[in-house]
Amino acid sequence: MKRRKFHGSQGVSEIVGTMLLLGISISLFSVVYISVLTVPNTPPTPSANIACSLDNNNTINISHNGGKGLELNTFVLIKIGDLPVYKIIIDDILDEKSKSDNLWSIGEKITYFNVSISGNQSNIEVIDPNSNAILMIARFDAR
């Protein structure tokens, strides 16, 4: 029976292989761990009761009827038929007395005049820019 001689390189290659597997595993775990923990934390969507009405097909009234006060950078998107979208920032249209607390609060209303939706479908959305959430959607079909 012939004896095999042990060569030192066999032991080294097993150690190197094990170290490579450990290095790959640790790297993969680190990438997954970091990517999960670094996902941006979006602020919660504010809870507010927003109502919308249309008067005589030319005035849009949007009222804050309950819930949390909304920041003045909240905006309204109005899409009438094939016309471009109007973007209205609450701070630009809310009266000065209502803006005194820096919030769009319960009982406060914004009015957008001189809108002719006659013969068109209209979509109105109130959006919280901080959470990028739609707080209210209204659709009017004046056909």
CA distance 119 to 111: 21
User: Tens-digit pLDDT profile for the chain (143 aa)?
Assistant: 566 555 555 556 788 888 888 989 888 888 888 777 776 777 788 889 999 988 876 788 999 999 999 999 999 998 888 889 989 999 999 889 988 999 999 999 998 876 777 777 889 999 999 888 999 999 887 66
CA distance 69 to 47: 9
pLDDT (0 to 100) of residue 12: 62
Q: How many CA atoms lie within 13 A of 59 on its CB side?
A: 7
pLDDT (0 to 100) of residue 10: 56
pLDDT (0 to 100) of residue 14: 80
Q: How many CA atoms lie within 13 A of 44 on its CB side?
A: 4
CA distance 103 to 108: 10
